[in-house]
Structure 1
Amino acid sequence: METCRWIPEAGNGIEHLTLRRDGAGLFAQGAVIGDDFGAFYTIRCDSAWRVRHALVEVAGGARLELHADGAGRWQDGQGVSVPALAGCIDIDLTASCFTNTLPVRRLGAALASRHEIAVAWVHLPALTVEAARQAYTRIAPRLVRFESLGSGFMADLTVDDEGLVVHYPGLFRRID
């Protein structure tokens, strides 16, 4: 089991994450506290780091549950197909550093070249979700370029040997 914590570089808050790995894959549980919200998340991935289940709950009652088949097909918590997320393999929670690790680990050595991906982008605290285009490229052993293709935002993320973010310039830094 591994535990990590991040704080924002501006404003108040914290993200606390606990990771457990076994032969079936990865189980991540986390809590994110922002200036005006608190949320809990659980993300399960298979052994290839493809998201298979995500549950996000905002303090006060809002809840989002998604299931994925690892090949880009998603369903909500009631088993209803979510065609707007077709082709997404990863999930990205707006207030979470951890979710950047998912494509970094899943793509692994392939990050030697730029990879455009689609992610299920969950906005916190509203819990709205949409497909978003992103790109990841390893530019040094511990440096990964993240690009949000819809907005033009780009950041060079410092990661550890496990692909967990150590520093997300302007947004987050790890404190553990």
Structure 2
Amino acid sequence: MKTLIWQGIAFQSLEYFSLTENDKGQVVTSKIIGCYENKIYTVDYQLTIDPDWNIQEFTIDSEINTIKNRLTGKKRQDEWEINNVISPDFKNFNFIDISLTPFTNTLPINNLKLTENDAQDIKVIYIDVLNNLVKPVTQQYTRIAPYTYHYDNLQTDFKSDILVDGNGLVVNYPQLFDKIAEI
């Protein structure tokens, strides 16, 4: 079991994160509290991940300025059921990217097993919690050093070099997140 705290820099947040391994893969539970652009928010998310670091199921409960929302997703073979409806936009997607946490970067980092200087494009379910938006996005990860990955959102001009630990968990995501405690 891993427990840690990430500080959100841009989103002025703290995340209390727990990762537990079992015979079926990993289970994540996490709680985020923060404020951003006149929005005060809490987010509780739970993820079920297979042994290859592919997301299988997620639940995201959020409250933004007292308005509550729940988003659920369950992988059904090669399709995704989002809030109990099969969504053809996400066929064959193995990853999600939740806007307010650095953890979802760990999924492709651990799954792709890139060697140094290798790159790979992936399709992800992007979840913008603060704006209640779910959409398909193409991203690219390049391993530029043993513990550093270059992240590139191929639909926008956003790029960053992410430092991770030996477990693929984010240590520093410049201007966005820093790991500040771990047990």
Relative to the length of structure 2, the TM-score reads 0.89
**Structure 1 residue corresponding to 2:56, chosen from 52, 55, 60:** 52
Which residue identity is paired with 1:46? D
What root-mean-square deviation, in Å, do the aligned CA atoms of Structure 1 and Structure 2 show? 1.6
Unaligned runs of 5+ in 1: none
Residues 10-55 of structure 1, C-alpha deviation per residue, up to 9 Å, x if partnerless? 4521111100001200100111222121110001011111110000
Q: Is structure 2 residue 41 aligned with structure 1 residue 37?
A: yes
**C-alpha distance in 2, partners of 1:105/1:11?**
25
Q: CA deviation at 1:108?
A: 1.4
**C-alpha distance in 2, partners of 1:4/1:75?**
30
Q: Is structure 2 residue 73 aligned with structure 1 residue 66?
A: yes
Q: Which has the higher strand share?
A: 2
Residues 133-168 of structure 1, C-alpha deviation per residue, up to 9 Å, x if partnerless? 100011000101111111121100000000000000
Name the SS for the 2:59 alignment partner.
strand
Moved more, 22-31 or 124-133: 124-133
Q: How many residue pairs are counted as aligned between the two chains?
A: 174
Is contact 1:64-1:127 (8 Å) kept? Answer: no
- Give 1:167's aligned residue: 172
- Give 1:147's aligned residue: 152
Ranges of 4+ aligned residues in structure 1 off by more than 6 Å = none
**C-alpha distance in 1, partners of 2:116/2:50?**
20
**C-alpha distance in 2, partners of 1:165/1:51?**
17
Which residue identity is paired with 1:82? S
Identity over aligned pairs, percent: 29
Residues 45-79 of structure 1, C-alpha deviation per residue, up to 9 Å, x if partnerless? 111111100000012420000001464x201242x
Relative to the length of structure 1, the TM-score reads 0.92
**Structure 2 residue corresponding to 1:95, chosen from 82, 100, 103:** 100
Which residue identity is paired with 2:161? D
Q: CA deviation at 1:9?
A: 2.5
Is contact 2:9-2:178 (8 Å) kept? Answer: yes
**C-alpha distance in 2, partners of 1:147/1:109?**
15
Is contact 2:116-2:145 (8 Å) kept? Answer: no
**C-alpha distance in 2, partners of 1:54/1:127?**
15
